[in-house]
């Protein structure tokens, strides 16, 4: 049986759960956050997994596995830049000072 469709609220709950589990904060800007969680839901419904909302699929789950949210690079990016590649997840310090997310280098070797 096909997996049920994810709503934007499902994706929002998923992101909140990840953030809480990891000790991260979610993007504070409600509009930006809404776009990101909508992207997660759309990707889940399109590919069957929460592909990163700011990256394109390379065509298969195995090719995409390093960038299924939370991606393999989130921790390192949050430590170095204060936020993940999409800025969905942020360090508590970056979040508390209202930091402006910047464009950061792609760590995925398949996409760099
Ligand atoms: S950069 Fe990584 S952690 Fe951030 S939204 Fe994309 S997949 Fe998730």
Q: What is the pLDDT of residues 30-40, one digit of tens each?
A: 999 999 999 99
Residues 59-88, mean pLDDT to the nearest whole number: 97
Taking the CA of residue 85 as reference, the ligand 1 atom at the shortest distance is 1
Q: Ligand 1, closest atom to CA 50?
A: 7
The residues lining ligand 1, judged by C-beta closer than 6 Å to any ligand atom, are 52-54, 67, 69-71, 74, 84-86, 88-89
C-alpha of residue 105 to centroid of ligand 1, in Å = 13
| Closest ligand 1 atom to Cα of 77 | 1
Complete domains list, the chain, with CATH: 8-99 (3.90.460.10)
With cut-offs at 50, 70 and 90, classify the pLDDT of residue 97: very high
Could you tell me the pTM of the whole model?
0.95
Confidence of residue 2 (pLDDT cuts 50, 70, 90): low
Residue whose CA is at the smallest distance from ligand 1 atom 2: 71
Q: Whose CA is nearest to atom 6 of ligand 1?
A: 52
Helices (H), the chain: 8-22, 30-47, 61-64, 74-81, 92-96
CB 35 within 8 A of CB 10: no
């Amino acid at each position: 049986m096909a997996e049920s469709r994810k709503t934007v609220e499902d994706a929002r709950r998923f992101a909140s759960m990840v953030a809480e589990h990891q000790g991260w904060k979610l993007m504070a800007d409600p509009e930006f956050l809404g776009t990101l969680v909508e992207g997660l839901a759309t990707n889940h419904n399109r590919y069957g997994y929460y592909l990163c909302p700011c990256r394109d699929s390379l065509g298969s789950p195995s090719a995409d596995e390093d960038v299924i949210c939370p991606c393999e690079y989130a921790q390192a990016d949050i430590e170095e830049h204060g936020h993940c590649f999409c800025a969905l997840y942020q360090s508590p310090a970056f979040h508390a000072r209202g930091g402006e997310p910047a464009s950061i280098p792609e760590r995925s070797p398949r996409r760099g």
